[in-house]
Amino acid sequence: MPSAQVLEQKKAAVVALTEQLKSACAGVVVDYKGISVADDTALRKELREAGVKYSVVKNSLLTFAVKETGLEGLEEVLTGTTAIATSEDDYAAAARILGKYAEGHENFKIKGGFMDGAVVDLATVESLSKLPSREVLLATVLNAFNAPIAAFARAVQAIVDKNGEGESAAE
């Protein structure tokens, strides 16, 4: 039987995990087995820069947190080595970074995920991982808005240039 101090530490860990899951808009559960310390450090740095919380967790503690948050169905993937990445404001950040990383590392696998308090299937997580970053999406939209205006400006400039050539030739 664990000591009272150890039990309190585990309860505090479950409470912290529960809060992390509740405050996240999206999260991804991965099997991190077989990656080197250098790769793990680089991965953690990239996730941290994107505002994603990433931590290795015990399956038993995460199971309790999942039950507290109502993410039924996520318990099924809580076997083996488990790490969880959560984001509070970017739905695709964790999936995109971890998906790109999983493509280059054979042993690193995405197990599942959740979004807006509901468990999503692996296909949804994989489709999220293929989305470009928010900045790239905004740039694409702004470019689409800007294209007709730029084309109009070029057309007007061409008319002005053509009329200017005709006047100088007439002089």
Over residues 148-171, the pLDDT tens digits come to: 887 888 888 888 888 766 554 444
pLDDT at site 86: 92
Over residues 33-44, the pLDDT tens digits come to: 888 899 889 999
pTM tops 0.85, yes or no: no
Q: How confident is the model at residue 93 (pLDDT cuts 50, 70, 90)?
A: confident
Which letter does DSSP use for residue 33 in this model? T
pLDDT at site 28: 93
Tokens of 53: 């919380």
Share of the chain above pLDDT 90, in %: 20
Task: Say how far apart CA 114 and CA 94 lie, in whole Å.
Answer: 11
Residue 59 and residue 82 in contact, taking contact as beta carbons nearer than 8 Å = yes
Residue 86 and residue 20 in contact, taking contact as beta carbons nearer than 8 Å = yes
Sorted by sequence, the CB contacts under 8 Å of residue 167 that are 6+ apart come out as: none
Q: Which residue is listed with tokens 């493509």?
A: 103
Nearest alpha carbon to residue 94 among 140, 125, 58, 137: 125
Domain ranges for the chain, please list them: 4-131, 132-171
Q: Dihedral of CA 144/150/154/155: which sign?
A: positive
Task: Say how far apart CA 49 and CA 111 lie, in whole Å.
Answer: 23
Q: Is residue 135 pLDDT above 70, yes or no?
A: yes
Among the four given CATH numbers 3.30.70.1730, 3.40.50.2300, 1.10.730.10, 3.40.50.850, the one describing domain 4-131: 3.30.70.1730
pLDDT at site 165: 64
Over residues 45-56, the pLDDT tens digits come to: 999 998 999 999
Strands 26-31 and 83-87: antiparallel
* Mean pLDDT over the full length of the chain: 85
